[in-house]
Amino acid sequence: MNLPLYFRSLAAKLFHGSMIAEDVEEELRSHIQHRADDLERSGFDRAEAERRARIEFGGYVRYKEESHEAMGGRFIETLIQDVRFGLRVLRKSPGFTIAAISTLALALGANAVVFGVLNGLILRPLSVPQAESLYGSEYGDGAGWQSYPNYLDLRDRNHSFEGLAAFNFVFAGFDTGKDPSVATGFATTGNYFDVLRIQPFLGRFFHASDERGPNSAPYIVLNYAYWHSRFQDDRGVVGRVVRLDKHPFTILGVTPPGFRGTVLFISPDFFMPIVNQPQVSPGFDLNDRANNGGIFEVFGHLRPGATPLQGVADMNMVGAYLAETYPKEFVHKASTLSRQGLTSFRGPAEAFVAGLMLLAGLILLAACANLGSLFTAHAADRSREVALRLALGSSRSRILRQLMTEAVLISLAGGAVGLLGSVFLLRRLSTWQPFAGAPVHLPVTPDGKVYLVALALALVSGFLFGIVPVRQVLRANPYEIVKAGMSGSPSGILSRKFGLRVTVRDVLLAIQISMCAVLVTASMVAVRGLVRSLHSNFGFETRDTMLVGANLAMAGYSVDKVPDMQRRMIDALLTIPGVEQAGLVNRYPPLIYASGRRENVFKNETTDLKQSNVADAPYRYDVSPGYFEAAGTSELAGRGLNWRDDKNAPYVAIVNREFAERMFGSVANAIGRYYKMQDGKHIQIVGVVENGKYLSVTEDQQTAMFLPSPQSPASGAYLVVKSHRDPQELAAAIRSKLRELDEGLPLDIQTWNSMLAVVMFPSRVATMALGALGMLGAMLSVTGIFGMAAYSVNRRLREFGIRVALGAQRKEVLQAALGRAVKLLAFGSAAGLLLGVLASRVLAFIVYQATPRDPLVLAGVVVAMSLVGLVATWIPAQRALAADPMMLLREE
Amino acid sequence: MPNQAQLLPGTLDLLILKSVSLGPLHGYGILLRIGQITDSALLVEQGALYPALFRLVRQGLLIASWGVSENNRRAKFYELTVAGRNRFREETEGWNRLANAMAAALAAQPEEL
């Protein structure tokens, strides 16, 4: 085809479309007039001649349309015509339109939100140059965590990376001279910004050349967002000195606006050189090779030409070398490369998002099935119109095109509404701060990709359900339909021809209901799992318990002064009226901030303390006397701790039941026995306490040991206070009591339950998401069943009238009206329940204690689906019962 | 009209080209001319002429312009372009070859084989 010519004529038609149409009309009219002239000459009068001329001409409208098409197709004009006609049809049946658009909007909105999360958390790279060649390493024991000396060896001995940087988290009192507060930072290697290839927004960054040994680089770089909120965009901050935990640091510069650090959902306030980390993390030994808490992640760009496989091989080589050279401090499992940004959170995050995608996909399918049946019903209602158009000479393809245009119109409208809703939700999510003070940030702002996916989904689903009524239209026999009139059963054509009792709509509806039942089952399983996990035994009692975070290093205490001060604090707390028990645990209590620390232990008879001889790696907690009582941990055997277990006394420990059973066979056996720590210390077990949860509520049972805190003092600790007093009052009393001891003590007072909320956050979010999807599923079932029941009642109203007139009882009418809908509901629900039970195995990965084999869940699903059925069939049932034979028969 | 034959596909275009090759004609005139030169042996539904005419115009074989007919009515007149004249010649030769071949084939007698 001659393309330029085509486009020119297309353009001409667009601008002169109506002119050309008139031109064609005039020519056809001229033809008929000429013919009429001839007929008139042969003896007819003018009117009769014109009538005959028109008949001889044939299908006027059809030839006019064909002429237009012959002139180069009139795609755009037809489209505009179709759209205009489609809009008119949709306006005329508002019920159908609203049902279809809202169904689609719900489904597309859910999918766009889920895709937005997937896009933000997993697909989108960090906003740094050449992010595609940036890799994080999972190295050493496989968790990503690493010690600083191991990082140095990896950096200097590998041949695949251009440069490797590393970072760690720090929490420090940030003092600008007024209003000191706790800020979150990354302690990074000097080359951090250079490896990322980013440039400062203001001032300068620190570099590898600034590092000259421990505490040699007292500089910090501010994150843009923190600079904006804490320093109100003050460009004069460069060069100013601030204090982190009382140590002076000079502000060097500010990061560019789009950069939020190298962990996707944590946005730090500042960056500092890792060589200075010991100043803000007392007791932190950067150069201890066994300190696997030293580095959170190592990352870098692969050299041009180096493949990820070569990188992994290289890392494994260095790992093997290190394991051989430092058998005491280093374990090497396999190394892998991961996309930078999520690191060790990648697995759970991917599983979670994949689960969500699956369910959102189900929602979309269910919605499509719903729309398919809506469209089929709608097309059946219009069979008379279609028949009329066919009889008047319209081609079937033209009618199909019209139906398609309507489907696309609906899908675009539904898509737009759904997208708007999802954009709103995603925007809210990305500015959401789930915990006050915690630097969590979900980078899920929607971008072009999200819009594109939503549009594609809308169009694809539009075509999917637009196709459903096609068969019906293609088969339609205009004469039969026109003859049969409006009240002829539409599916009758199908069932009469094939003797089928099951129509396409029935199948669609059953599929839809079963999908919705899957969603309902899944959400019930999840909710039930969450409820259980909140009531399971953590090995401590969080009710009526207050946690008081007190970091003595921030208040300027040296480590040797710490035990005495901590004892004075506990004694002071016990004098508060209403306080029943008080104790403390160094660093964090179990389950808080996923902060469990494992330590290697050896059997007492082991002499060579190398990694391969490790007997176990229990979680280690350093606790004071009174801790178990305050935390509500029951002591099973032996004695508790007392203040005589100090640094002059022999080393003792209390272990949990799991530890005792694993190392010594039984609780009774363990009392009085010895084991060895990595540094060779002999430790005697003096007591055994109950099992509990330590790192996460979903973990399998782990071993744990509790050492007396006076034997290994640490300045950061949480005081645990048991009291039945009102938390608000109690917090005020604790604050004033502790301030009596030291005015400048920074305190963080919260109930244990509220701190636990942070731990429960992921499963809470998962449950909320699943709950929302389950609700969506239930809503879709309601619309689907309602649509079908209402439609069939409407169709058969006359029949019901006759039945009532012949003496049918209410029960029989109801059975006739809704029997099919109820059967489909029962069948679909049963299938869905079964599938949901299978699908719940997947859920067990995300949601704690998610088991579908729970009578409460099964009963819940059955009740929910019955309610759905009741709600959806209520109005149609009322209508069927109200069928008045006289009225209906008169209407005909 | 029992003796009228249905048009073979593609023959309408050739008949239109032939009619117009004898001089400019409007649509109705083309129809009359076809009736005349085929001795009314072929059935053309009147309206079917126009999509074919517009297709030929679009292919650049015909050119159209408004004028006044012998009945003193406005009508659109069609003429062959140079391309149309060439195409008409090719199609005529093609058609004749086909017709001769078909006629020879159908006239074959047993003894000639």
A181-211 residue pLDDT tens:
778 889 999 999 999 999 999 999 999 999 8
Q: Which residue of B has its CA nearest to A63?
A: B47
| B70 touches A: beta carbon within 8 Å | no
Please state the φ and ψ torsions of residue A684, each to the nearest 5 degrees: -100, 135
pLDDT given for residue A685 in this prediction: 94
Compute the distance between CA of residue A362 and CA of residue A419 in angstroms, rounded to an integer.
Answer: 18
Q: Do A27 and B48 touch (CB under 8 A)?
A: no
Whether pLDDT at B75 is above 70: yes
pLDDT given for residue A492 in this prediction: 41
Please enumerate in sequence order all residues whose Cβ is within 8 A of that of A848, keeping only pairs 6 or more positions apart, or say none.
A529, A530, A532, A533, A697, A698, A763
The pLDDT confidence band at residue A847, using thresholds 50, 70 and 90, is low
> Which chain A residues are within 8 Å of B59, Cβ to Cβ?
none
Task: Copy the structure tokens of residue A844.
Answer: 């067990």
pLDDT given for residue A335 in this prediction: 73
Q: Do B27 and A30 touch (CB under 8 A)?
A: yes
The pLDDT confidence band at residue A395, using thresholds 50, 70 and 90, is confident
> How far A85 CA lies from chain B's nearest CA (Å)?
25
Task: Copy the structure tokens of residue A573.
Answer: 């707390």
pLDDT given for residue A309 in this prediction: 87
| Average pLDDT value for chain A | 81
pLDDT given for residue A627 in this prediction: 94
Q: Considering only A49-58, A110-119, A139-148, A241-250, which range has the smallest mean pLDDT?
A: A139-148
Q: Which residue of A has its CA nearest to B64?
A: A27
Q: What angle do CA A250, A254, A255 make, to 5 degrees?
A: 135
Give domain limits for chain A: 3-72, 74-126+349-486, 131-340, 502-537+761-892, 545-723
Whether pLDDT at A419 is above 60: yes
Comparing A843 with A315, the larger pLDDT belongs to A315
Nearest Cβ partner for B50 among A9, A35, A67: A67
> Which chain B residues are within 8 Å of A67, Cβ to Cβ?
50-51, 54
pLDDT given for residue A142 in this prediction: 46
Whether pLDDT at A271 is above 90: yes
> How far B97 CA lies from chain A's nearest CA (Å)?
28
A703-747 residue pLDDT tens:
999 999 988 888 788 999 999 988 888 988 998 888 888 877 777
Q: Do A30 and B54 touch (CB under 8 A)?
A: no
> Which chain A residues are within 8 Å of B46, Cβ to Cβ?
31, 35, 56-58
B23-69 residue pLDDT tens:
899 989 998 888 888 887 776 778 888 888 888 888 889 988 888 88
Compute the distance between CA of residue A207 and CA of residue A224 in angstroms, rounded to an integer.
Answer: 19
The pLDDT confidence band at residue B6, using thresholds 50, 70 and 90, is low
Nearest Cβ partner for A31 among B27, B45, B57: B27
Q: What angle do CA A806, A811, A814 make, to 5 degrees?
A: 90
Nearest Cβ partner for A71 among B49, B54, B74: B54
Nearest Cβ partner for B58 among A57, A59, A72: A72
Please enumerate in sequence order all residues whose Cβ is within 8 A of that of A812, keeping only pairs 6 or more positions apart, or say none.
A803
| B46 touches A: beta carbon within 8 Å | yes
DSSP state for residue A847 in the 8-state scheme: S
A584-630 residue pLDDT tens:
998 888 887 656 778 889 999 888 888 778 888 899 999 999 999 99
What percent of chain B shows pLDDT beyond 90? 19
CB A831 within 8 A of CB A517: yes
Nearest Cβ partner for A70 among B29, B45, B55: B55
Nearest Cβ partner for A35 among B28, B45, B58: B28
Mean pLDDT computed over A230-237:
90
Q: Do A9 and B55 touch (CB under 8 A)?
A: no
What percent of chain A shows pLDDT beyond 70? 85
Mean pLDDT computed over A523-535:
75
Q: What is the dihedral of CA A516, A517, A520, A524, to 10 degrees?
A: -160
Whether pLDDT at A652 is above 90: yes
Comparing A232 with A804, the larger pLDDT belongs to A232
The long-range contacts involving A452-456, CB below 8 angstroms and separated by at least 24 positions, are: A453/A111, A453/A112, A453/A115, A454/A108, A454/A111, A454/A112, A454/A115, A454/A415, A454/A418, A454/A419, A454/A422, A455/A415, A455/A419
Q: Do B57 and A71 touch (CB under 8 A)?
A: yes
Comparing A645 with A127, the larger pLDDT belongs to A645
A805-833 residue pLDDT tens:
888 888 888 887 788 788 888 888 888 88
pLDDT given for residue A634 in this prediction: 92
| B109 touches A: beta carbon within 8 Å | no
| B28 touches A: beta carbon within 8 Å | yes
Q: Do A34 and B52 touch (CB under 8 A)?
A: no
Whether pLDDT at A500 is above 50: no
Whether pLDDT at B70 is above 80: yes
| A30 touches B: beta carbon within 8 Å | yes
Q: Do A35 and B46 touch (CB under 8 A)?
A: yes
Give start and end residues of each alpha helix (H) in A488-576. Answer: 490-498, 504-535, 562-574
A702-714 residue pLDDT tens:
899 999 998 888 8
Nearest Cβ partner for A27 among B55, B71, B76: B76
Among B12, B40, B50, the residue to mutate for chain A (most A Cβ within 10 A): B50
If you average pLDDT over each of A62-76, A603-617, A647-661, which comes out highest? Answer: A647-661
pLDDT given for residue A488 in this prediction: 41
pLDDT given for residue A487 in this prediction: 41
Q: Do A34 and B73 touch (CB under 8 A)?
A: yes
pLDDT given for residue A656 in this prediction: 94
Among B4, B13, B54, B55, the residue to mutate for chain A (most A Cβ within 10 A): B54
> Which chain A residues are within 8 Å of B55, Cβ to Cβ?
70
> How far B105 CA lies from chain A's nearest CA (Å)?
36
Asked casually if ipTM beats, i.e. exceeds, 0.90, the reply is no
Whether pLDDT at A12 is above 60: no
Nearest Cβ partner for B73 among A30, A59, A72: A30
Q: Tokens 């500010």 identify what position? A: A254
A164-178 residue pLDDT tens:
999 888 877 788 877
Q: Do A66 and B51 touch (CB under 8 A)?
A: yes
| B35 touches A: beta carbon within 8 Å | no
Whether pLDDT at A526 is above 50: yes
> How far B22 CA lies from chain A's nearest CA (Å)?
20
| Average pLDDT value for chain B | 84
Mean pLDDT computed over B67-91:
90
A533-574 residue pLDDT tens:
767 788 888 888 999 888 787 777 888 888 899 999 999 999
| A471 touches B: beta carbon within 8 Å | no
Strand partners, A134: A301
> Which chain A residues are within 8 Å of B57, Cβ to Cβ?
71
Compute the distance between CA of residue A318 and CA of residue A324 in angstroms, rounded to an integer.
Answer: 10
DSSP state for residue A818 in the 8-state scheme: H
Q: Which residue of A has its CA nearest to B51?
A: A67
Compute the distance between CA of residue A635 and CA of residue A690 in angstroms, rounded to an integer.
Answer: 6
Whether pLDDT at A834 is above 60: yes
CB A62 within 8 A of CB B47: yes
Mean pLDDT computed over A333-349:
67
Nearest Cβ partner for A31 among B28, B55, B57: B28
Compute the distance between CA of residue A80 and CA of residue A437 in angstroms, rounded to an integer.
Answer: 55
A421-463 residue pLDDT tens:
888 888 887 777 666 555 666 777 777 888 888 888 888 887 7
pLDDT given for residue A439 in this prediction: 61
| B72 touches A: beta carbon within 8 Å | no
Count Cβ–Cβ pairs < 8 Å, chain A vs chain B: 69
Q: Which residue of A has its CA nearest to B66?
A: A27
What percent of chain A shows pLDDT beyond 90? 17
Domains of chain B plus CATH, in order, are 5-105 (1.10.10.10)
Compute the distance between CA of residue A284 and CA of residue A282 in angstroms, rounded to an integer.
Answer: 5
